[in-house]
Structure 1
Amino acid sequence: MACGAELKTTGERPYADPEAAARKLLELAGQVEPVQDGRIHIEKINALFLFTLKASGPEFGAGIRYAVQHGWLELHESGTYVRVLPPGEGLLRQ
């Protein structure tokens, strides 16, 4: 292995579980100032999730799908923004 190469641990990834990823995405969405009509640009939470938390793209996708399926988030058909729905707002207060 080259000097300075990053070693990955074999421990469990914290957002490998879609529910955990979805809950974290809701938490991140709660930190972002929505624009018109409660819209949160997807790149705002995507950047935090991928680059700040070092999660993966598949974890992000699974988390978004889980949140949408459970009525926590609404994902616009264009994929450019989400909206936190009332069931998701309840999770923000916990």
Structure 2
Amino acid sequence: MSVPRLWTTNSQELDPFRPRHITDAMKFVQDRPFANPEAAARKLLALVLQQDIDVGQFTNIGTMNRAFLDTGGSELEYVAGCACAIESQWFKIDPSGFRIILLDAGAEQA
């Protein structure tokens, strides 16, 4: 009867300083769709425009946050996307922090 080997006695495999193949230590991760802040900002703008609001009107920031997270974005990507959209003057966040107000430049991006 043969017993499977649970360890190795090969001295080359035990050497911690031996050069390893690239596939030994690498794990491949899928690219994040909103890792680029501009891509995240465009997705946020698309979500705002789905609410059928006009320039100067507002939508709830919590609704946009939840919708962005449901599409696969992360919290950090959401914050970076908001900062990029505000810098591009597509929308602004009112002083209370609870509403996103659509601006002219954002409506023109549609």
For the criterion TM > 0.5, the same-fold answer is: yes
Moved >2 Å (runs of 4+): none
2:83 matched to which residue of 1? 65
Identity %: 35
The reply to whether residue 86 of structure 1 matches residue 100 of structure 2 is no
CA distance in 2, matches of 1:47, 1:82: 14
The letter of the residue matching 1:44 is T
Alignment gaps of 5+ in structure 1:
1-8
How far did residue 33 of structure 1 move?
4.5
Number of residue equivalences:
82
The letter of the residue matching 2:85 is A
Instruction: Using structure 2 for the length normalisation, give the TM-score.
Output: 0.68
- Structure with more contact order per residue of length (Cα contacts < 8 Å, sep ≥ 6): 1
Alignment gaps of 5+ in structure 2:
1-27
Residues 15-59 of structure 1: CA distance to partner in whole angstroms, max 9, x if unpaired?
01000000000000011244xx61111011111101x21210000
Q: CA RMSD, aligned part only?
A: 1.7
1:53 matched to which residue of 2? 71
What is the DSSP-based 3-state SS (H/G/I as helix, E as strand, rest coil) of the residue aligned with 1:74?
Answer: strand
Query: Which structure's residues are more often helix, by fraction?
Result: 1
CA distance in 2, matches of 1:84, 1:23: 13
CA contact 1:32–1:44 (8 Å) conserved in 2 = no
1:76 matched to which residue of 2? 94
